[in-house]
Amino acid sequence: MSRKLIAAGLCITSLLVAIASHAQGPELHFSADAVQMAPDRQLRNARMYVGDQRVRMEYERNSQRVAEIVDWARGRAVLLLLDQGTYMEQQVPAAAVPPQSADNDTNPCRGAQELQCHQLGQETLFGRRVDKWEMVAMQDGQLQRSLHWIDPVRQMPLRQFLPDGTVSELKPLGAEIIDGRRVEKWEQSTTRPDGTQQSAVQWYDPQLKIAIREELPGGFYRELKNIRVARQAPELFEIPAGFRRMEIPAQTPAQTQPKRH
């Protein structure tokens, strides 16, 4: 088995993380085709299943069929090598597990012991009522403070002032129809302390509470297509009977060293 394949799995894709981090309740069940485009212009396709704080993504890598499963409830990530009947498993870092909360708990620091959040009141931004928060964290022995204006319904920061001077805004651009679904189009602009700017566009699905399309800086693009809202079979998120467990190969010192050009 190639190390390249092993590295590809259990190194969870950004799209998988984005979906999994919102899969917080039994009401969120759906399947979709996931498409990603990277700057190398290589198109990556996968089949995705979401349900009960669990996400499964199936794709082909190096001519082998692979499935990744993230199970937030169990705190684990599993890589299934479907053609070989084997699997590898690792724990999801505690910091990466989205905390459970009551529907009325909008504190952005919930579950993060290293952060403290103080609500500073409410304001109107882009015609929407938002909660203003101050976030405080200790980093490298220094106290870092940031300000965040958060849409309490969508749980999205519409404006952020970060400790390094970076300012970002997320502006609504109206409603659109994508793949038969009514979505909200948003533009995110980021200004660095040196004056450089970046922009990205996302299309937010209010029913799924996630962005189903994103156009990101640097040529990154990702989208969910053929979305079907329906309960997913529990066995999709389990290790199939008869699959053999394999240990994740340890990296040698040479493999952990950065390459020199």
Q: Is the pLDDT of residue 207 over 80?
A: yes
**What are the pLDDT digits (tens) for 46-99?**
999 998 888 999 998 888 999 999 888 888 889 999 999 999 998 876 545 554
Contacts of 91 (CB under 8 A, 6+ apart): 75, 76, 77
pLDDT of residue 73: 81
Separation between Cα atoms, residue 205 and residue 224, nearest integer Å: 11
pLDDT of residue 159: 97
**What are the pLDDT digits (tens) for 104-117?**
567 888 767 788 99
Q: What are phi and psi of 149, to 5 degrees?
A: -105, 110
Least confident of 26-40, 83-97, 198-212: 83-97
pLDDT of residue 91: 84
DSSP, collapsed to helix, strand or coil, labels residue 94 as helix
Reduced 3-state DSSP string for 137-193: EEECCEEEEEEEEEECCCCEEEEEECCCCCEEEEEEEEEEEECCEEEEEEEEEEECC
DSSP bridge pairs for 90:
77
**What are the pLDDT digits (tens) for 122-177?**
999 999 999 999 999 988 888 999 999 999 988 899 999 999 999 999 999 999 99
Least confident of 61-75, 191-205, 226-240: 61-75
Q: Which helix (H) or strand (E) holds 204?
A: strand 197-205
Annotate 28-60 with b (16+ C-beta within 10 A) or e (fewer): bbbbbebbbbeeeeeeeebebbbbbbbbbbbbe
Q: How many CB atoms lie within 10 A of CB 19?
A: 24
Residue 215, Cα to own-chain centre: how many angstroms? 15
Predicted TM-score of the model (pTM): 0.79
Separation between Cα atoms, residue 24 and residue 39, nearest integer Å: 31
Give Cα separations from 32 to 26, 49, 50, 178 (angstroms): 17, 7, 9, 13
For residues 30-45, average pLDDT: 85
Annotate 227-240 with b (16+ C-beta within 10 A) or e (fewer): beeeebeeebbeee
Give Cα separations from 121 to 102, 104, 132, 147 (angstroms): 20, 16, 6, 12
Ranges of each domain in the chain: 3-98+109-256
**Cα Rg, the chain, nearest whole Å:** 20
Token pair of 111, please?
Answer: 């579950």
Q: Tell me which amino acid residue 197 is.
A: Q
